[in-house]
Structure 1
């Protein structure tokens, strides 16, 4: 299992078996109707009707005693928490990625991204816990309006996904999670609704060599 499929995760996820993946790393829409300077938008960023059923499926597909890391919209965190808790996840950590630049400025200069570390069951503690503040490298957002840096995602995968495990990203965008999984020697399953971003992800993955992990 190492592929990224074009489709709605609410249609694709129910076709996957229970406890089929070892780790989930995803960047879902933030529910803010985002539009970047070039006019690009993100599907399903206007409403949260997909939020609860998606995370219920994510929880079902994730193996017991494993982790999910989800980025989220800080000003919609109540909706994300409700969905995570309804699915069965519990929050066991919060990760802040410090940007060396600001995304925008209003009441504050917005210079970070954030994600919650969610647990299903009782995962084992990592041998070397990550700090909860991590660096961030600007991706350029060339392929997707909220494109995440592969380097940051690879660090999370190496820490929270077992060697040769399967990483799931139901909101794959331009495929950064899948690229990071391949580079760190993990298998992956990605789902992307937008055909343009799916095509970009497929192209990236076609030129990404598989990495190796320790036995």
Structure 2
């Protein structure tokens, strides 16, 4: 198939069409799928769940980040039968977009990580973030006394404190609303995608987004030194994503 847009230097390709037709035709093996599928929870024309896509994704990769709501994952749980859930990460936004007044104001989305096969064979490298207020600069050895925990007693330990800690499972990042968003559900790179991609895809690896939307995944993969393939069914969004990616290439933005 001919790509809708491509940059061979960085290995970024965007295809126009239904992922259930395009993905098998590409015949690729990816290190990671990172995607935000249509949840099928609104009346918007593009918000239609593509039946069978998680099973198709399982033919391409053994590792997948998938955005979604709890309702979506519960309603569609049989379609994830080929996958095992490793963890869920919460994206906390600065504000919500819901208009219901009889529930808590929704200011978060879930990103779930799924895998196939043995966990030891899956690339997972949790990003580390600065530990503010703790020792900075040269590393130092820290000791921790024995302590009890709800999972059993944990023995004391000793480790080198380099001023960083594992990234937490709640990631705070401003949503793209009113910030020149290309797509209504566009995901931010800073604070969100920049953590998910390095965790599950090795440097130089291939990331696939079957529902490319604004092209955020492709842009984030390029910035992280990964190759990427995106598929978008709706041409207005594919055109906007291609324009975004072209501007990045021409402008030399890192």
Question: Into which bin does the TM-score normalised by the smaller protein fall?
Answer: 0.7 to 0.9
The answer (yes or no) to whether the contact 2:124–2:199 under 8 Å persists in 1 is no
CA RMSD in angstroms, aligned pairs only: 2.0
Q: Residue 208 of structure 1: CA displacement?
A: 2.1
The answer (yes or no) to whether the contact 2:69–2:109 under 8 Å persists in 1 is no
The answer on 1:83 being equivalent to 2:79 is yes
Structure 1 residues 22 and 158 mapped into 2: Cα distance closer, same or farther (>3 Å)? same
Structure 1 residues 125 and 140 mapped into 2: Cα distance closer, same or farther (>3 Å)? closer
The answer (yes or no) to whether the contact 1:3–1:190 under 8 Å persists in 2 is yes
The answer on 1:11 being equivalent to 2:21 is yes
Matches of 1:7 and 1:188, distance apart in 2: 16
- Residue number among 91, 97, 112 corresponding to 1:103 in the alignment: 97
Structure 1 residues 90 and 145 mapped into 2: Cα distance closer, same or farther (>3 Å)? same
Find the counterpart in structure 1 of residue 188 from structure 2: 149
Find the counterpart in structure 2 of residue 163 from structure 1: 203
Matches of 1:139 and 1:117, distance apart in 2: 22
Specify which structure has the higher proportion of helix.
Answer: 1
The answer on 1:51 being equivalent to 2:51 is yes
The answer (yes or no) to whether the contact 2:123–2:202 under 8 Å persists in 1 is no
Query: Deviation above 3 Å: which 4+ runs of structure 1?
Result: 127-130, 209-212
Q: TM-score, normalised by structure 2?
A: 0.71
The answer (yes or no) to whether the contact 1:72–1:115 under 8 Å persists in 2 is yes
Q: TM-score, normalised by structure 1?
A: 0.83
Unaligned 5+ segments in structure 1 are 35-40
Structure 1 residues 42 and 162 mapped into 2: Cα distance closer, same or farther (>3 Å)? farther
